[in-house]
Structure 1
């Protein structure tokens, strides 16, 4: 995709989202020439500020920024009518996560380990009205069922109580556990879901249907 070819394309702004500015700036340097304006966002607030400018933007994002789910941010922005196309480029992801992001409104999803040429193909696809998912992240229904996180009964109880706004001491008392055990369960759930914060844990758990009444 040459820079000249973007003049008639819908997304002339690029916003690269990553918790580490050096990473975001590096990614921007690889594909920024295809856009008229390039910016970097390292927090949810800075992304919101960038997208509030009004011009249509292509957002190239990790799955999380400063502990916040970028899929949730995408939903928020799209619900508000923001003219943005989200392309996810995480270091690690499963086919199930890719499917959830695409279902939520993403335009493309690929690994950060991909060659620059593949990233450019994904961007070109989005610019011309198509979606793009890396071949390794395309899953069948059976694949998705196998990849669904499996929590123990106790972890499910802890998760639902956290989602209900209960504090760790409250959960410990309700389940007759020590506070240390409750925190250990929370850390185990976050590892299982591949997240690093309680907010991200709850967001992924909701997407996975783990908070549905049984």
Structure 2
């Protein structure tokens, strides 16, 4: 990969935050030949990082997940709350979907594995610098698989509505009130309410607006927008 700096473009300034000196050295070594990225500073904790950011205009902060979970999450919170810069990337020795979710919940723009290599780290840094997200492939694939499984299971559940449930759902989506549905179908109000509750559980929704949206997706009501 060509790591030469494009003419007229400044390198991305990186701040490394990790209480493990060996881990910081590993990152510096990995980025050594990436001339479009430069390590502007490094610190051992959030307090030092915030102090450094008063004088160093770092674009991206690499935050190591080698300390205690509470300290790392606090570091992420304090740095991402600092402003639009730096954008944060959490780095971990053990990558799991749960850890990645926590990182993005804390405002990080990326989640990367230690030892991922210069190419992957370089892509992560430039993605965060642009404001995009980056997720290392070894944890990204399980998250995608889990998401696709939920979609598949949801489709199966939607397709398993009974004829009566689909009828009630169509009428709800078109604005019929519970009493009107009961009168039209010759049911009690309590039975209609039971059908609607069962439909909402089956579709995994909790509000009527979501129910109408799902009805549109199933071709049973106004199309979703």
Q: Structure 1 pair 2/68, CA: closer, same or farther in 2 (3 Å)?
A: same
2:113 aligned counterpart, secondary structure:
coil
2:59 to 57, 69, 78: 57
Q: Is the 8 A contact 2:97 2:139 kept in 1?
A: yes
- RMSD (Å) for aligned C-alpha atoms: 3.0
Please give the alpha-carbon distance, in whole angstroms, between the structure 2 residues aligned to 1:96 and 1:66.
Answer: 16
User: How far is 1:95 from its partner?
Assistant: 0.5
| Residue of structure 2 equivalent to 1:124 | 126
| Residue of structure 2 equivalent to 1:2 | 3
| Residue of structure 1 equivalent to 2:26 | 26
Q: Specify the structure having the higher radius of gyration (Cα).
A: 2
Q: Is the 8 A contact 2:12 2:126 kept in 1?
A: no
| Residue of structure 2 equivalent to 1:14 | 14
Please give the alpha-carbon distance, in whole angstroms, between the structure 2 residues aligned to 1:4 and 1:80.
Answer: 28
User: How far is 1:64 from its partner?
Assistant: 4.6
Structure 1 length-normalised TM: 0.55
Structure 2 length-normalised TM: 0.53
Please give the alpha-carbon distance, in whole angstroms, between the structure 1 residues aligned to 2:134 and 2:120.
Answer: 10
Q: Is the 8 A contact 2:87 2:128 kept in 1?
A: yes
5+ residue gaps in structure 2?
151-225
User: How far is 1:106 from its partner?
Assistant: 0.8
2:73 to 71, 75, 78: 71
Q: Structure 1 pair 5/131, CA: closer, same or farther in 2 (3 Å)?
A: farther
1:73 aligned counterpart, secondary structure:
helix
The number of aligned residues is: 143
